[in-house]
Structure 1
């Protein structure tokens, strides 16, 4: 009886840790400093990112994020899209949010646009140098509807 209770408590602790990890991942990813400098080749100011140690530790690791697909017409129906931690009206591209609130997503399968919140799980790549890419890139992503 005692072993069964210990096992149940162990399973519950793993489940709650996983839920907490998913809910706080965007918060963890917000631990970045953004600096701008002029790029001679592009002739524009570009952003460079200095990631905190807890963010650097996630590089190359599988993570989960919940958010909304940015409805860019030219990207619909593909396996590439941008995920925002905020709804469209408040996102980085339309509202006043920062670049740490969005991620490029490369899914394993074609993803149809939805206005519903989704959950993605994939391997995180940090981008601190390429001004033509977002700072967070998720590869080999599996997509599911969020359980809100």
Structure 2
């Protein structure tokens, strides 16, 4: 009984330590294209509404092929993803708790299902810039995206 209790406590401690994982610099994907996405600013209108502000540098890529490498963040359960988000940080990072900041994510609308992976993927699609409420969905899309092998 004593051994089982010790084992349970050690297991819980290791799970809690993993949940508090802070990313290392090596986990984050950096590229010129992510630098362009990072130029997008947001105007907070009130507690529930924020709109994107696109610089001319960002706007010049709109409606053109654009490639991003990053980590898949599913929007629905399942191994095959048609619509998902891509981020510079892995899914096991805490996007919303404030420990690692809130990296901008891009919504990917794939032309065919992509098998979910924890590894980085590269997608190529048409860059679309939206004007919706950025508190609810990222305003940047890659439409008709394909996985680059």
Q: Could you tell me how far 1:28 is from its partner in structure 2?
A: 1.2
1:140 maps to what in 2?
Answer: 144
CA distance in 2, matches of 1:36, 1:23: 27
| 2:138 aligned counterpart, secondary structure | coil
| 2:62 aligned counterpart, secondary structure | coil
1:53 maps to what in 2?
Answer: 56
Contact 2:75 2:83 in 1 (8 A): no
Of 77, 81, 84, 1:81 maps to 84
Task: Sort the Cα spacing of 1:96 and 1:127 in 2 relative to 1 into closer, same or farther, 3 A.
Answer: farther
Task: Sort the Cα spacing of 1:121 and 1:91 in 2 relative to 1 into closer, same or farther, 3 A.
Answer: farther
The Cα offsets for residues 28-49 of structure 1, whole Å up to 9 and x where unpaired, read as 11112211123xxxxx512111
Contact 1:92 1:102 in 2 (8 A): no
The Cα offsets for residues 83-142 of structure 1, whole Å up to 9 and x where unpaired, read as 11222244644654335x210001111111101100000001001234443111110001
1:6 maps to what in 2?
Answer: none
Alignment of 1:19-38 (within 5 A): 23-38=31-46
Q: Could you tell me how far 1:78 is from its partner in structure 2?
A: 2.8
The Cα offsets for residues 66-91 of structure 1, whole Å up to 9 and x where unpaired, read as 00001455264131111112222446
How many positions carry a matched residue from both structures?
118
CA RMSD of aligned residues (A): 2.3
Q: TM-score, normalised by structure 2?
A: 0.68
The gaps in structure 2 that reach 5 residues or longer are 1-29
Alignment of 1:61-76 (within 5 A): 61-72=64-75, 74=77, 76=79
